[in-house]
Amino acid sequence: MFGKHDIEVIGLIIDKKNKIMKVIYESPENYNPNNFSVKHKTNEITQNIILPLRFKVVSWNHLFQHVDSNYELQKGEVELFIKPKYFTQDLWDEFTMFKKEETALKQNRAHYPWEREFINE
């Protein structure tokens, strides 16, 4: 969501009729904005999925909080409308989403394991 070198994801599991069955996203766990370290917590929504989905960025490293349709923007907040789309193979390669070997400075970009079935290895 935030560019080639800082990618955050929201995953949607969709059935054959294009109904969203599950929403997956990460939020900060026990977040303290004064600390540099942020522990990621994986969240799943499987019931009462109301469209449009709304998320608020709540940490310096772009983790999310799911908010409902009644959420009112606070001073300085901006609402963006983003249409989900699949990454093409060219974008997958351009964003260097997957590294054959990870190192401390060369990490995989955020993505879900099921996305790897389309990688040309």
Range of the domain at 108: 86-121
pLDDT digits (tens, 9 = 90+) for 19-38: 999 999 988 888 887 778 88
Domain membership of residue 42 (yes or no) is yes
Give residue 20's pLDDT.
94
Portion of the chain with pLDDT greater than 70, in percent = 74
Domain membership of residue 81 (yes or no) is no
pLDDT digits (tens, 9 = 90+) for 55-67: 998 887 778 899 9
Residues 55 and 92 in one domain: no
DSSP code for 92: H
- CA dist., res. 105 & res. 72, Å (int): 39
Region 43-49: mean pLDDT is 94
- CA dist., res. 67 & res. 79, Å (int): 12
